[in-house]
Structures are given as structure tokens and as C-alpha cells.
Amino acid sequence: MQNIEAQIEDLRSQIAAIDKKIPSDKISMIVFSGDMDKVLAAFVIATGAVAMGMEVVMFFTFWGTPILRDKKKKVGGKDTMAKMFGAMLPKGSCEVKLSKMNMGGMGTAMMKSLMKKKNVASLDKMIEMAQEFGVQIYVCEMSMDLMGFKREEMIDYSNMSYCGVATFLEQAKDSKIQLFI
């Protein structure tokens, strides 16, 4: 009798250990690209995943970081390099370009007007939807620092915080789907 109880206890702890290893219904995305088309795809998948009942976390790093800047916000106190990066990189989702057929901005403008005509949601609108649906956004602190961005110039997004690689890996380890965009 005691033997059976010990076995049950053993099984219980084994099940608990296995439970820990099963990933959650979660999707983790790294948004590395700063291209309009790719980031739009990332947000379509992100919002779609919430609609499918999944938890979603997006990690913005490198060229993806400037997309989350707010066009209307101005910050001072930057050094020359930071000012240069700030001026050269897109200021927010309205300024990002297509990865192909940009043609000096003409292609992107044409695509935007076509999207409007066909009722396809803009990147701006998708970010808004993501916020409404509770998509968690993490921004790579190292990219922020490297490009000289300040937190005060980022968009107002309710579920946004700043992190490093460990935060991403902890989430990714527990996700059924991981994407690098």
C-alpha cells in the first residue's frame, strides 16, 4: 500500500515536470526588419494569432525599432551620432518603405494608395489593432541605445516594455510558434 502511494507521488512529480516543458499557446516574433511590407505581415500575423486565441509577444530589434517611434514627439539632448541616426532612420510607421519596388519612394506611395483603395489596413491601423487586442511589445534596449533613441520618443502603446535577449528567449522557449521577420 505504501509502495503504491510512493509511486503515485513519483508519477505526480513527473507529470508536473512534463507539464512545465509543454509550450503555451503563444507566438513569439522577432521583428528585425524595418520594411513596411514585412512589418505589416508581422502585425497581421500578430493580430490574427490573438483572434485564434493565442498569446502574442513581439520583440522589436535593429531596423524594426524606429517603426515604434512617434512622429509627433521631439526629444533633445542627443549626441551627433544619435542625431544622425535619428534623422536617417524612419520616424514611425508612416515613414517606412517597401522592401522591393520602392523606386525612390514612388513605389511605397503607390502601394499605400492601393492599400487605401482596397481597404487594406495601414501599418498605423494594425499597430492600433494590436494594442486593442493586447499584443505585448518588447523593444530591444541595446538597439535603442545603439541608435540613440530615447523612450520618450516612442509611441504610446499600453503593452510596451524594454528588454534584452533573455526576456525574448524565456518567452520563445515557452511558445509553440517562433518567427523571425
Partner 1 sequence: MSEEIKVDKVMDLKGLPCPMPILKVTKGIKEVEIGQVVEVWSTDPGSINDFPSWARTRGHEILKTDQNGKVTKFYIKRLV
- Closer by beta carbon to partner 1, 44 or else 75: 44
Q: Give the whole-angstrom CA distance, residue 153 versus residue 155.
A: 7
Do residues 157 and 129 touch, judged by C-beta distance below 8 A? Answer: no
Binding mask 117-146 for partner 1 (x = CB under 8 A): -xxxx-------x---x-------------
Give the binding range for partner 1 (CB under 8 A) out of 44-52, 71-79, 88-96, 151-159. Answer: 44-52
Interface of this chain with partner 1, residues 45 to 64, rule: CB under 8 A: 47-48, 50-53
- Closer by beta carbon to partner 1, 50 or else 181: 50
Q: Give the whole-angstrom CA distance, residue 151 versus residue 53.
A: 30
Binding mask 80-119 for partner 1 (x = CB under 8 A): --------------------------------------xx
Q: Give the whole-angstrom CA distance, residue 107 versus residue 62.
A: 24
Burial degree of 137 (CB within 10 A; 0-12, 13-18, 19+)? buried
| Residue 40 cell numbers, joined | 505589416
Query: What one-character DSSP code corresponds to residue 89?
Result: S
CB of 150 to partner 1, least distance (A): 32
- Closer by beta carbon to partner 1, 157 or else 162: 157
CB of 118 to partner 1, least distance (A): 6
Question: How far is the CA of 161 from the CAs of 10, 57, 90, 153, 164, in angstroms?
Answer: 40, 11, 20, 14, 10
- Closer by beta carbon to partner 1, 120 or else 181: 120
By CB under 8 A, is residue 177 in contact with partner 1? no
Helix 36-51 × helix 106-117 angle, to 10°: 30
Q: Which residues bind partner 1 (CB under 8 A)?
A: 44, 47-48, 50-53, 118-121, 129, 133
